[in-house]
Amino acid sequence: MFCNKTIMTIMKRLKNVSLIAILGFFASFVSVKAQDLAEGEQIYKNNCSTCHAVTDEVVVGPGLKGILQRRTIDWIVPWVHNPQAVIASGDKYAVDLYNKYNKAQMTAYPGYSAAQITSVIAYIDAQAKVVAAPAAGATPVAGGATSAAGASNGGMMEYIMIALLAVMVLVLVALLSIVSSLTKLSTITPDSLEAQGIPLLQRIAENGKKLTRSSAFKTGAALLITLLIGKATIDAAYGIGIHKGYAPEQPIQFSHKLHAGQYEINCNYCHTGVYKGKGANIPSANICMNCHNAIKRESPEIQKIYRSLEKDEPIQWVRVHNLPDLAYFNHAQHTNVGGLECTNCHGEIAKMEVVQQRSSLTMGWCIDCHRKTNVNAKGNAYYDKLVELHNSETKEPLKVQDIGGLECSKCHY
Ligand code: HEC
Ligand code: HEC
Ligand code: HEC
Ligand code: HEC
Ligand code: HEC
Ligand code: HEC
């Protein structure tokens, strides 16, 4: 009996253990697969989605839905590594495809391993099944609606505040008049009022009129108006040289909402310096031609790109953000080292039809962020010693101001 019981408990334990083991095995299997897909997704979104869709839709290159039915992995891997080499080798499928897409050149990705490319294709295949028709078209429209609302937010708030202020003043006046009416009323009995034959409301209104004529009210109103005018003047004075909200018309109606938003082209595909250098760079017409030698050739706006190239005159984009020469700003320091997003400083560019300056770009703006923002020190050996020293002195996290972010010479030549 006893023996049996122990065996039973041991068996039970074993069952649990093996169940856990089996579950663990499946979990690890699934997570490896999910990890592969996640890596595939990342590679796809960072590189391929610029030119390909997971549907049938042609972007720059063909839609990749059903690619595994058309091509084998053995063909795709060398193709992604070096499309021009496959075309040059005379591969009929490649040559036909190349001609069909107006000789648009696909970027070569010699750096990705066969396994990585397989994950990308697996991701595309999985996505193609998920996206299958209905929901696909809806997203850009929704994006459009929110962006319109977002764009007018800044100015709207101010109007709402002013309107609220005006309402508050009116309510104050009304309340004061009611209070004064009531004090008067409390000194006379209802009988005497009725005897005078004047209805209550009318009396209140009359008292209101008296109040607006009173000198105290006039001084109050004058003071309020002076204050408002004063504030506007001071704002305007401080605003000299500040171009927040500046959104000039550009020589070509280039839309970030379309390119960076709807087609999800990475910012650094065009702004090539943004993670590497001081300036972000404005793309040359050649970068536009990677796509527009095939896309929308007939559009008058696209014709302007061709004309600029033919005449060898760069497109005259109007500069939006511009710090005075006395200040030094470096993109790579903020995006790459600091780990900041473009939106931290530029707002939702990917939702803008026309680029608008969203931050003031004043010294106060830079300093304010340097006071508040923690240094992105994780995994950066450069900061290890500094963090150690800092932590031995205080419990506060290491802020940009602690690494010299408030020193004049860091931002001024
Ligand atoms: C700059 C645009 C561009 C980028 C980026 C790009 N491709 Fe392409 N791709 C093309 C074009 C264009 C073609 C059609 C052939 C041609 O014109 O060279 C093509 C063709 C293909 C084909 C063959 C399609 C078919 O229907 O047979 C595959 C597969 C492919 N690309 C995969 C990828 C993958 C994977 C990535 C990302 C790692 C990628 N491409 C990134 C432009 C691009
Ligand atoms: C297809 C190319 C392309 C992509 C992708 C792109 N941009 Fe641009 N960007 C441009 C061009 C061209 C201009 C100049 C014309 C203009 O201001 O619209 C510009 C201008 C800008 C400016 C204003 C520059 C100035 O004069 O001060 C900012 C800021 C900017 N882009 C940020 C972004 C961000 C953030 C992203 C990603 C979300 C992005 N861009 C993606 C092409 C691109
Ligand atoms: C990676 C591909 C890609 C690049 C690079 C690119 N575009 Fe585009 N562009 C597109 C796509 C896709 C469309 C949408 C075409 C459509 O509506 O059928 C488009 C549309 C446009 C349009 C609207 C045309 C019209 O009449 O509707 C303009 C203007 C434009 N692009 C300008 C530019 C400029 C300027 C550059 C370079 C700074 C550029 N594009 C770079 C893919 C690209
Ligand atoms: C910490 C704030 C900050 C972040 C983050 C930031 N920018 Fe900027 N950006 C600026 C300032 C400030 C300027 C004006 C620089 C000047 O006039 O010297 C600027 C200018 C630009 C310009 C105009 C060209 C140039 O280099 O002057 C482009 C394009 C641009 N940014 C794109 C981007 C993109 C894309 C990202 C994200 C990858 C980004 N920025 C992230 C602050 C920022
Ligand atoms: C959104 C927040 C933010 C804004 C706005 C911002 N910065 Fe920074 N800045 C940072 C961060 C975070 C770092 C730290 C990056 C690092 O780890 O080196 C930094 C670092 C710097 C450094 C290097 C400091 C050092 O001691 O190494 C300089 C110089 C600098 N910023 C200049 C500017 C200027 C000029 C402006 C305004 C035009 C500005 N920053 C606006 C967040 C910001
Ligand atoms: C984080 C970066 C940063 C630091 C630190 C910084 N400045 Fe500036 N400063 C700027 C920027 C950006 C401007 C230009 C924008 C503006 O005029 O507001 C500027 C403008 C100025 C101007 C010109 C003001 C004008 O109206 O033209 C003076 C003077 C100046 N700074 C002095 C200093 C002194 C002194 C220090 C040290 C105590 C200092 N700054 C530290 C970023 C910085």
Q: Residue 261: name the closest of 369, 385, 351, 383 by CA.
A: 351
pLDDT band at 334 (very low <50, low <70, confident <90, very high): very high
pLDDT band at 137 (very low <50, low <70, confident <90, very high): very low
State residue 149's pLDDT score: 32
Angle CA 91–97–103, to nearest 5 = 105
Q: Residue 413: name the closest of 298, 296, 329, 302 by CA.
A: 329
DSSP 5-18: HHHHHHHHHHHHHH
pLDDT at 239 over 80: no
Q: How far is CA 366 from the centre of its chain?
A: 19
Q: Over 286-353, what HEC string results?
A: HHHHHHHCCCCCCCHHHHHHHHHHHHCCCCCCCCCCCCCCCECCCHHHHHHHCCCCHHHHHCCHHHCC
Read off the pLDDT of residues 79-110 as tens digits, 9 standing for 90 and up.
999 999 999 999 999 999 998 887 788 888 88
Span from the CA of 346 to the centroid of ligand 4 (angstroms): 7
pLDDT at 357 over 90: yes
Span 59-78, average pLDDT: 91
Residue 82 CB-density burial (10 A; 0-12 exposed, 13-18 middle, 19+ buried): middle
State residue 139's pLDDT score: 35
pLDDT band at 176 (very low <50, low <70, confident <90, very high): confident
- For 282, the 3-state DSSP assignment is coil
Span 117-132, average pLDDT: 86
CATH architecture of 16-132: Orthogonal Bundle (1.10)
Give strand pairing partners of 374.
399
Read off the pLDDT of residues 18-34 as tens digits, 9 standing for 90 and up.
445 444 444 444 444 67
Read off the pLDDT of residues 189-216 as tens digits, 9 standing for 90 and up.
555 555 555 666 676 677 667 766 777 7
Read off the pLDDT of residues 371-399 as tens digits, 9 standing for 90 and up.
999 998 887 888 888 888 888 888 888 89
pTM over 0.85: no
pLDDT at 160 over 80: no
Span 150-167, average pLDDT: 60
- Residues 6 or more apart whose CB falls under 8 angstroms from that of 204 comprise 177, 178, 181
Buried b (16+ CB within 10 A) or exposed e, 221-254: eeeeeeeeeeeeeeeeeeeeeeeeebbeeeebeb
Most confident of 15-29, 214-228, 239-253, 363-377: 363-377
Ligand 1, atom 34, lies closest to the CA of 48
| Ligand in closest contact with the CA of 407 | 6
How many CB atoms lie under 10 A from the CB of residue 270?
A: 20
Q: Give percent of the chain above pLDDT 70.
A: 76
Span 124-131, average pLDDT: 83
Q: How far is residue 227's CA from residue 230's CA, in Å, rounded to a whole number?
A: 5
pLDDT at 260 over 90: yes
Angle CA 44–29–125, to nearest 5 = 30
Q: Which of 50, 51, 295 to mutate to test the pocket of ligand 1 (most atoms within 8 A of CB)?
A: 51
Pocket of ligand 4 (CB under 6 A): 267, 271, 274, 279-280, 282, 321-323, 329, 331, 334-335, 340, 342, 344-346, 361
Mean pLDDT rounded to a whole number for the chain: 80
Q: Which of 363, 366, 367 to mutate to test the pocket of ligand 5 (most atoms within 8 A of CB)?
A: 366
Span from the CA of 341 to the centroid of ligand 6 (angstroms): 23
Regarding predicted confidence, which is higher, 287 or 2?
A: 287
Pocket of ligand 5 (CB under 6 A): 323, 327, 329, 333-334, 337-338, 340, 344-345, 361, 365-366, 369-370, 373, 375-376, 400, 403-405, 410-411
Span from the CA of 136 to the centroid of ligand 3 (angstroms): 20
